[in-house]
């Protein structure tokens, strides 16, 4: 019984290690969005901007379903990512710096774009588009 528990525990640890972005992992130029918190479930990744998250690869669609994000872009230039409440970079937005991640969007809010649609709302299951920007706060 103990050996079975050890195998199950080891498998769970290994699975978690694969799903969670490693801070030491080399940048690959992508921004990742995961359907579930803690980098679990279906995901999509982008190297460029996307005006509509209804289609993406490999997950198919991430429109208003993302619960964790990871910016694994290259440092320098346009390396931060704005996540928008609306399609085509409309409404309020929040920004994720290069090399950082949010494992659970439950308490993350759209903090830029006061007066725009979605301002102050949770980003969890609420992102429709994104674009790479030179710094956070840049519209």
Is the predicted pLDDT of residue 11 greater than 80, yes or no? no
CA distances from 15 to 5, 38, 44 (A): 15, 12, 18
Is the predicted pLDDT of residue 20 greater than 80, yes or no? no
Of the pLDDT bands very low, low, confident and very high (cuts 50, 70, 90), residue 23 is low
The answer to whether residues 82 and 133 touch, using CB atoms and an 8 Å cutoff, is yes
- Confirm whether 119 is domain-assigned: yes
- Confirm whether 30 is domain-assigned: yes
The 3-class SS string of 61-102 reads: CCCCCCCEEEEECCCCCCCEEEEEEEHHHEEEEEEECCCCEE
pLDDT tens profile 67-112: 999 999 999 999 999 999 999 999 999 999 999 999 999 999 999 9
- Indicate the Cα dihedral angle 120, 70, 133, 135, nearest 10°: 80
- Confirm whether 138 is domain-assigned: no
- Confirm whether 139 is domain-assigned: no
CATH number of the domain within which 62 lies: 2.60.20.10
The answer to whether residues 132 and 79 touch, using CB atoms and an 8 Å cutoff, is yes
The answer to whether residues 29 and 72 touch, using CB atoms and an 8 Å cutoff, is yes
The total number of structural domains that make up the chain:
1
Average pLDDT over residues 30-57: 97
Range of the domain at 44: 2-133
- Confirm whether 115 is domain-assigned: yes
């Amino acid at each position: 019984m103990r050996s079975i528990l050890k195998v199950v525990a080891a498998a769970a640890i290994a699975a978690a290690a694969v799903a969670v972005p490693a801070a030491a992992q080399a940048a690959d130029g992508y921004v990742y969005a995961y359907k579930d918190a803690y980098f679990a479930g279906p995901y999509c990744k982008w190297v460029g901007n996307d005006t509509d998250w209804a289609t993406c690869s490999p997950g198919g669609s991430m429109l208003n379903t993302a619960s964790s994000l990871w910016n694994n872009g290259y440092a320098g230039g346009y390396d931060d990512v704005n996540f928008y409440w609306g399609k085509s970079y409309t409404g309020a937005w929040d920004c994720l710096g290069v090399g950082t991640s949010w494992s659970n969007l439950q308490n993350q809010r759209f903090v830029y774009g006061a007066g725009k649609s979605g301002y102050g709302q949770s980003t969890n299951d609420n992102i429709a588009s994104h674009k790479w920007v030179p710094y956070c706060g840049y519209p």
